[in-house]
Amino acid sequence: MDFIDNLVAKRFGDLSFFSTSSRLYKFEKIKKVTNETRIRRPDITLIDMGVGEPDKGADKVLCDILNIESRRPENRFYADNGILEFQEAACKYLKKMYNLTGITVDNVMHGIGSKSILAMLPLAFINPGDVCLMTVPGYPILGTYSKFCGGEVYNLPLCPENDFFPNLDSIPEDILKRAKLLYLNYPNNPTGQVASKAFYEYVINFAKKNNIFIVSDLAYGPLVYDGYKPLSIMSIDGSMDVCVELHSLSKAFNMTGWRLAFIVGSKKMIKLFSTVKGHTDSGQFRAIQKAGAYALENPQLINENCERYSRRFNMLVEALREVGFNAKKPKSGFYVYVPIPIGVKNGVRFNDAEEASLYILSNALISTVPWDDCGSFLRFSTTFEANTIEDELYIINELKDRLTSLNLEF
Ligand SMILES: Cc1ncc(COP(=O)(O)O)c(C=O)c1O
């Protein structure tokens, strides 16, 4: 223990949080094996199917707005809890995209990305000993910050046997009594599952019965394929009392680095959130919010992403199926989530997804993300780098050839 270690807050326990946690370790290992393989095999290029963000930048029209608005003196101030124009645009977007009626500017508030909204919500709810129910595998931020607040995380595995929905009936009584927050993320990262109206009704009843507040993360909401209509939990009767929902501009509008999202909920909830937020940040740059407002008023900008991902899903799923993976095109999102092969014909066996992923990486220079929370799965992303349809086809054919040459056994 040195000078700084002695001063670090107790919430970080034995300080292992600052070294290689298992989640970070997974990505560290992937990075290391990628670098080693690149040196060993300079003849082949990396096929990166592990990326979790769009391969394209924001539309030119949004960049032009940012350019113009960033020069306007009236935009230079702290934005605090946001600009009205963005909130009004969010209301229109919710009507257009999810058919949500009756939403006013009092029901929405911007955030510097969904990640920072997820980080702030536990501050408003979690006391030491309270429980945050988190679906796993998944995006961990709400749970991480619940722990920072002295709370506990209870994991709800998303297993193929349950169609990648949490089994809320399995939660022990003691946990239910202490649970305050439930995190949901549909369309789901990484499983690709989408929620039905019936599922949302069931969860809202559960939340009311057990006094649990739902945080629904719709980061991938508008990326939909083959006629599937995006669904918001806020469209379900009674949701306003027990839910908030997060909408991100990162994936839908390719604005990941711009850091812009919004939360929708009851007037009371938004006031609560705005108070915590007001003490935490001073709002996103107004010029970014203005570009964001334009984006939300023009959701047709998302269509190009949907077309590109849909086309890539068709190619990727077909290629993976030909190799032997049990791959299905999801209705939404940008991930294909497949069970791992058991090993290589007459060769190695994979004990878990991490082993399978690292084997594929070091022998075929194809990067995937492994998940071992409930069963062993690999996540392939349709956001791989490719400029033209010809490039996409080339990459998918190359992926198929490399995977075929591995002689994987399923
Ligand atoms: C499920 C989920 N929620 C939220 C985020 C972060 O979104 P934002 O860029 O708005 O912070 C991600 C990013 O990968 C995600 O996968």
- Whichever domain contains 374, its CATH number is 3.90.1150.10
94 plus 231 within the same structural domain? yes
Q: Is 216 in the pocket of ligand 1 (CB under 6 A)?
A: no
Q: What is the pLDDT of residue 26?
A: 83
Mutate to test the pocket of ligand 1, among 109, 139, 259 (most ligand atoms within 8 A of CB): 139
Q: What is the pLDDT of residue 11?
A: 84
Q: Could you tell me the sign of the dihedral formed by the alpha carbons of 40, 42, 47, 51, in that order?
A: positive
161 plus 287 within the same structural domain? yes
- Whichever domain contains 75, its CATH number is 3.40.640.10
Q: What is the pLDDT of residue 267?
A: 98
Q: What is the pLDDT of residue 337?
A: 98
335 plus 398 within the same structural domain? yes
User: Per-residue pLDDT tens for 351-388?
Assistant: 999 999 999 999 999 999 999 999 999 999 999 999 99
Q: Is 338 in the pocket of ligand 1 (CB under 6 A)?
A: no
Which is more confidently placed, 218 or 24? 218
149 plus 275 within the same structural domain? yes
Closest ligand 1 atom to residue 250 Cα is 9
Q: What is the pLDDT of residue 13?
A: 76
Q: What is the pLDDT of residue 24?
A: 59
- CA distances (Å), 294 to each of 90, 224, 253, 298, 304, in order? 10, 21, 11, 6, 16
293 plus 322 within the same structural domain? no
155 plus 256 within the same structural domain? yes
72 plus 217 within the same structural domain? yes
Q: Which one of 239, 266, 299 terminates a domain?
A: 299
Closest ligand 1 atom to residue 138 Cα is 1
Domains of the chain: total: 2
52 plus 88 within the same structural domain? no
248 plus 131 within the same structural domain? yes
Q: Is 119 left (phi over 0), alpha (psi -120 to 50) or beta?
A: alpha
Q: Which one of 253, 280, 299 terminates a domain?
A: 299
In which domain, by residue range, is 188 found? 60-299
239 plus 287 within the same structural domain? yes
Q: Is 52 in the pocket of ligand 1 (CB under 6 A)?
A: yes
User: Per-residue pLDDT tens for 235-270?
Assistant: 999 999 999 999 999 999 999 999 999 999 999 999
Q: State yes or no: pLDDT of 162 exceeds 90.
A: yes
36 plus 64 within the same structural domain? no
User: Per-residue pLDDT tens for 57-99?
Assistant: 999 999 999 999 999 999 999 999 999 999 999 999 999 999 9
8 plus 144 within the same structural domain? no
- Ligand 1 centre distance from Cα of residue 306 (Å): 18
Q: State yes or no: pLDDT of 208 exceeds 90.
A: yes
Q: What is the pLDDT of residue 22?
A: 54
- Ligand 1 centre distance from Cα of residue 220 (Å): 8
3-class DSSP assignment, residue 366: strand
| pLDDT band at 131; cut points 50, 70, 90 | very high
Closest ligand 1 atom to residue 115 Cα is 11
Mutate to test the pocket of ligand 1, among 112, 115, 264 (most ligand atoms within 8 A of CB): 115
Q: Which one of 299, 322, 350 terminates a domain?
A: 299
SS (HEC) of 123-138: HHHCCCCCEEEEEECC
Q: Is 245 in the pocket of ligand 1 (CB under 6 A)?
A: no
